[in-house]
Copies of this chain bind each other. A is one copy, B any other.
Amino acid sequence: MGTERLAIIGGDAAGMSAASAARRRDPELEVVAFERGLYTSYSACGIPYYVAGLVEGADRLISRSPEDHRANGIDVRTRCEVVAIDLGARRLTVRAACGEESEEPFDQLVVATGAEAVRPPFPGADAIEAAATVGAAERLRAALERGGASAVVVGAGYIGLEMAEAFVDRGLRVTMIEQAPQVMATLDADMATHVQDAAEARGVRVVLGTAVEEIVLDDNGAPVGVRTADETFDADHVVVGVGSKPLVGLAEDAGLEIGDSGALRVDDHQRCPGHDGVFAAGDCAESHHRVLDRPVNIQLGTHANKQGRIAGVNATGGDDRFPGVIGTAVSKICRYEVGRTGISEHEAADAGIEVVSATIKDRTRAGYYPGAGPIWVKLVAEPGSGRLLGGQIVGTEGAAKRIDVLATAVWMGLPAQELALLDLSYAPPFSGVYDPLLIAARAVAKLV
């Protein structure tokens, strides 16, 4: 037996993190990554800012190009789609852009196939490309630069909200249509309402509790409107952001196990159970949720990078453990920053977990310091113990990154009554003398 070979399916965050970690640890190892697109290691999270024009070239979203990776000794094959995995023979079937197929052997395998946008069932939806890749973002921006006066965003999750803002930045009249009765389902309704206020203040028309029935196309197949039961909205441009699902068909066909979340089951070393030397990481894989104590599929670049790195370490004989997630996320929506961690009140209810919660409103800076704005903090805690189970923050500049304090507290199981007296920092440019988190902790501690 000659040199060992690590194959990686997928050239974005998780895949290339795995490749890079393996490369660093074992200079002898052959590392080959197959990516069906043109790009590697790009920031899908940056796409709304590129569409808005805040970021000039799409190449700025790429943190490492195929050439960069090749210079590090990783054999990157772009425009090469893996179409079959034979786990017994340890062999991939790879189809190049020209259509030619080849067999590629491996010793270790990292599956990092990512996720794809959910395509809604209504007529016309097939005509709308998901703005989830660098290429798609370039096509959308080119279309915007060709003109148009109106846009409709279907779905009011954080990507939909970011895209709505990007369209407003470009001077379009924007309508956002959401089937649920609130924006941002990851927040509780009372907190989501502030985000809706921010979008509306920025000029976005927000239509809630309304199903789209059709994307109306012209004779060339280009969108001209979006129809609901009540109304048809003009739409020179349409973006659909109604969620995305892990891309697991290939792995499932090969016999890898799918969890209840619909993503690939992995253990805490990113190993696919029952298949030695086979790993999965990133948007296609499950993560253990430490508060819910069950596997979940949360598609975020931060998890993809960490899990990819761990898969790369463990594929080369290492023993790294991914400790799980607690659902932390942050976003900037118009004038507000939004953060959440742990479980929300409605997630707790869905999971049958009894909680107490409190919401406070305060200011981001001392009242007399220029630029102070509103901040709302909602905390969710376990009755009796007071252990923090989750937090949500909405507010102006400086508000959202405070979520990391709550993430650390939830991670460690800090009781709210202890957080209320914790030695957090204070100076007038950053908060009143009691940080909003301390005030919120005190409020929820009274209820436990």
Contact = CB atoms under 8 A, between A and B. Distances in A.
B424 A46 contact: no
Nearest to A342: B423
Interface in A392-429: 397-398, 400-405, 407-409, 411-412, 414, 418-419, 421-429
Contacts of A46: 366, 368-369, 428
Interface residues of A, number: 65
A425 B326 contact: no
The complex is assembled from copies of this chain, and their number is: 2
Nearest to A13: B433
A370 interface: yes
B54 A370 contact: yes
Nearest to A398: B401
Given A43-B368, A55-B369, A403 B425 contact: yes
Contact of A45 (B324, B409, B422, B428): B428
A402 B339 CA distance: 14
A42 to B, nearest CB: 10
Contact of A421 (B306, B369, B397, B429): B306
Contacts of A55: 368-370
Contact of A326 (B368, B419, B423): B423
Interface in A262-311: 300-303, 305-306
A409 B407 contact: no
Given A302-B434, A401-B402, A408-B412, 7 more contacts: A302-B426, A328-B424, A332-B429, A332-B430, A400-B425, A407-B422, A408-B422
